[in-house]
Amino acid sequence: MKMNLLIFLLFNLIYVARGNSKPNILFIFADDYGFNDVGYHGSEIKTPVLDKLANEGVILENYYVQPICTPTRSTMLTGRYQIHTGLQHGVIFAAQPNSIPLDETTIAEKLSESGYKTHMVGKWHSGYYKKECMPTYRGFDSFFGLLNGVGDHYTHMLSRGGWSGYDLRRNETVSTKEKGQYSTFIFAKEAQEVITNHDSSSPLFLYLAFQAVHTPLQVPEQYIQQYEGVIKDKKRRTYAGMVSAMDEAIGNVTKTLQEKGLWDNTVLIFSTDNGGRVYDGQNNWPLRGWKGSLWEGGIRGVGFVNSPLLTKPRRVSHEMIHVSDWFPTLVKLAGGNLKGTKPLDGFNVWETINTGEPSPRTELLHNIDPVQTPWYGKPGSGGYQWCPQAALRVGDWKLLTGCPGDSRWNPLPNSSLNLNEENYLNNDTKKLFLFNIAQDPEERHELSSQYPEKVKELLLRLEEYNSTAVPVRFPNPDPAANPALHGGILEENIGYLVGDSLLAAAFLSYAGPFLSNYRDELVMQNWIAQVRELKVACTPKFSFAEFLAKPTTVRQWNIQGLPSDQFSTENGVIVTRGNRWPLMVDPQGQAIKWIKNMENTNGLKIIDLQQSDYLRTLENAVQFGSPVLLQNVQ
């Protein structure tokens, strides 16, 4: 009995010790990576590192992403569908004043709350039209990479529509010393340096979003040579070299984790962001469609999880998992909570991955894009004559409406298969498709005429989703962002900078003594109107706190005792950004505690007017530049 009790106690001590150790998280995105382009799917492209990681972990064979770049990244970062962030149409283009909405909470912010050091390397493509949209304002402690969705892998130049600009940054500063260096290698090297320099006393979240294997098709020649005589098609041969270079780079990153001693407590997630572009050498066979489409070839992703922490590794999971699930899964795995987020569309699927439990997800919305065609039909009837581009998966069934995108099956370039007649059957006229995806993942057997009740059921469910959608955010490009106006650099939109600076200066100078309602009235009703009368552009919904303080800075203030409401945050900005001694109201009486904590190591002088020597203390503080807190002023 004593021996059993001892074993029980030892087991629980081990379990608790392991459970209290927050895992490091390495999340890797491959860009435009085709379903048929990884070794463990039978590809002729060599991916020994990915194959080993996948086969020793859990391969996700019922894993879904969004059909294009920005939506997948925004969904992973927020845990919310495209229809709930306004990013349901297209990607964010250079010079477009658009981003993940600033009131969305990112996974980096939640992990930071749990004590993680958060770093991003690679492709952002989530908006940068003002500094508040940048990665280091969205929860990441550091950033090195490109802000847009595409660019030359060596020169790091993006050329589109007559514009051409340089796009590579370290945090918010343009970094030019990497000109001429291949993007896959510089991003892997940066990731290795982040790992090497990481203080192991804190857990690490590293988001590594390769620019590879997105076009342009570029890679050092030695990576192409290994496919001479193996792959006849020149584009695919170059693309294969890009895949091999990325595979090698990932191996270098994981090796650095091992050398640092972090690997045994690391969870690695690998994911594509969408299907491959078949015209540029990628391949999604045997799936139908490609990047940009809602067919399986556009949205069924290559994905796996590897970790020494997995309870049941070395298996293939066919449970339904979506890219939105990473947000709640990783936050919970990190010991965090989901308070303060908007309603999430993702599910915590850790036990599905870790032990093989059934997925809590039984359906997923692939997307509804109302820009393609208008929503038409009597609400509640499912009686559509024309439908938006949309797709929905419920259980084994998948419904597509409108024009879901390129619907062809594309075998490898050297294949003898001829699918021309099959590829173009009914594609131009049919606007509604039903498939049993569990039985027919290649979407060859369209069943809408055989199951009209199932069609109606799914249309009604699609309409329910549509009722929760927010308006599409897809503004026109801003001419003020033309790189020619900024020394050939792709910059955030500075068209609002002058107006926003005027508003911030006014707020900093005059708003401190007033309560929240009057502050809002000053900005929204008085000052913005005056700025517009002067024909000076400003942000329509200007936020003083967002303009002058990073979210990471605000979180640090909260840790030091500053309340998290908007009024207190504004006071924090006034205290730390003003050039003269600020005067503020503090109705909650908590700012004093925060100021004492913040300035404790800076020689803070606390003065009470009831003290007989308060003038001498004040004079000395002014003379030596010490911070002063004058309290209990009646």
Q: Give the catalytic positions in this structure.
A: 69, 125
CA distances from 402 to 184, 350, 389, 391, 488 (A): 37, 35, 5, 9, 41
Query: Tokens 């009831």 identify what position?
Result: 610
Say how far residue 474 (Cα) sits from the centre of its chain.
18
**Per-residue H/E/C for 73-92:** HHHHHHCCCHHHCCCCCCCC
Q: Are 246 and 212 in contact (CB under 8 A)?
A: yes
How would you classify residue 139: left for phi > 0, otherwise alpha for psi between -120 and 50, otherwise beta? left
d(CA 606, CA 618): 9
Pairing of strands 58-60, 315-317: parallel
The 3-state DSSP class for residue 2 equals helix
Dihedral sign from CA coordinates of 440, 446, 449, 452: positive
Q: Which residues lie across from 227 on neighbouring strands?
A: none
Q: Provide Rg for the chain, Cα atoms.
A: 27
Cβ atoms < 10 Å from Cβ of 457: 15
Query: Tokens 């041969």 identify what position?
Result: 237
d(CA 185, CA 223): 13
Structure tokens at 564: 């998290």
Cβ atoms < 10 Å from Cβ of 506: 17
DSSP 188-257: HHHHHHHHHH--TTS-EEEEEE--TTSSS----HHHHHTTTTT--SHHHHHHHHHHHHHHHHHHHHHHHH
CA distances from 528 to 478, 506, 524, 538 (A): 21, 11, 6, 8
Q: Which residues lie across from 60 on neighbouring strands?
A: 317
Q: Are 490 and 158 in contact (CB under 8 A)?
A: yes
Return the exposure string of 63-75: e unless at least 16 CB atoms fall within 10 Å of the residue's CB, then b: bbbbbbbbbbbbb
